[in-house]
């Protein structure tokens, strides 16, 4: 796991530095940026047996703490006043599992990496290339290999953009809830060696913090 984290951090730093020159530097910060998020994904799976002779009604809590390095494409689409701007965003990233718990107990039974896709709108109030406040509304999709990690739903974030050593940086807090909640699904599961025909329902939430590096000002 440490190898995966080190590799991704090195990748983000290297690409961010490389983007300042040559072809990649042409529109860096204008149409694309690099960033990372640290987020907590909490999911509840409720299982109810459909067989009265083999009763079951139990809930499993799945908690993921993950790191999300990503590239964000953004395109200016509108402006309401002189000191604001609205961006359309498309984000692609890799979700790296740092910690996974089931009902509070640490587990290693998970695939360490999954994909991450997000699209939405950002409203930036202030100096486009200086101090500004920002808010984003997005639709977030986390297609995962692991139980309880699948997420599809609206997310929102609020943040602040500032200049540091002639570089533009954005920091933000983020939260959202899954739309997959209360969708009933028929399935077969095994718990403690016993098989059950069940109906399962699923709901989840995401909370996190993030930073975006927009490059040289």
pLDDT in tens, 74-85: 899 988 888 899
> Percent of the chain at pLDDT above 70?
76
Q: What is the mean pLDDT of residues 25-31?
A: 58
Tokens of 104: 């509070």
* Mean pLDDT over each residue of the chain, to the nearest integer: 82
Domain that holds residue 149: 2-216
**93-146 pLDDT tens trace:** 999 999 999 998 898 888 888 889 999 999 999 998 899 999 999 999 998 888
Angle at 40 between CA 111 and CA 110, to 5 degrees: 15
What one-character-per-residue DSSP string does 123-184 give?
A: EEEE-TTSSEEEEEEEEEEE--SSTTT-EEEEEEEEEEEEEETTEEEEEEEEEEE-TTTT--
CA distance 139 to 120: 6
Cβ-contact 50, 33 below 8 angstroms: no
Band (pLDDT 50/70/90 cuts) for residue 20 is very low
Number of domains in the chain: 1
Q: What is the DSSP string of 78-134?
A: E-SSTTEEEEEEEEEEEEEEEEEEETTEE---S-SEEEEEEEEEEEEEE-TTSSEEE
Instruction: Give the rounded distance of the alpha carbon of 90 from its chain centre.
Output: 12
Q: How far is CA 207 from CA 15, 37, 61, 131, 184, in A?
A: 27, 10, 16, 25, 25
| Kind plus residue range of the DSSP H or E element containing 67 | strand 57-78
Residue 60 backbone zone (phi > 0: left; psi -120 to 50: alpha; other: beta): beta
pLDDT higher for 181 or 137? 137
């Amino acid at each position: 796991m440490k190898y995966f984290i080190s590799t991704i951090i090195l990748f983000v730093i290297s690409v961010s530095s490389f983007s300042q020159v040559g072809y990649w530097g042409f529109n860096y910060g204008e149409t694309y940026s690099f960033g990372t998020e640290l987020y907590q994904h909490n999911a509840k799976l409720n299982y109810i047996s459909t067989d009265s002779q083999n009763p079951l009604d139990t809930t499993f809590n799945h908690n993921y703490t993950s790191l999300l390095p990503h590239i964000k494409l953004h395109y200016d689409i509108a402006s309401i006043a002189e000191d604001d701007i609205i961006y359309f965003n498309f984000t692609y990233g890799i979700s790296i599992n740092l910690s996974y718990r089931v009902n509070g107990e640490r587990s290693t039974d998970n695939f360490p990496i999954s994909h991450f896709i997000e699209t939405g709108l950002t409203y930036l109030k202030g100096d486009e290339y200086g101090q500004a406040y920002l808010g984003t509304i997005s639709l977030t999709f986390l297609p995962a290999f692991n139980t309880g990690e699948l997420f599809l739903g609206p997310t929102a974030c609020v943040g602040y953009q500032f200049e540091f050593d002639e570089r533009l940086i954005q920091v933000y807090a983020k939260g959202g809830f899954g739309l997959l909640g209360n969708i009933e699904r028929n399935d077969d599961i095994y718990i403690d060696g016993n098989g059950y025909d069940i109906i399962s329902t699923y709901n989840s939430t995401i909370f996190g913090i993030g930073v975006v590096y927009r490059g040289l000002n």
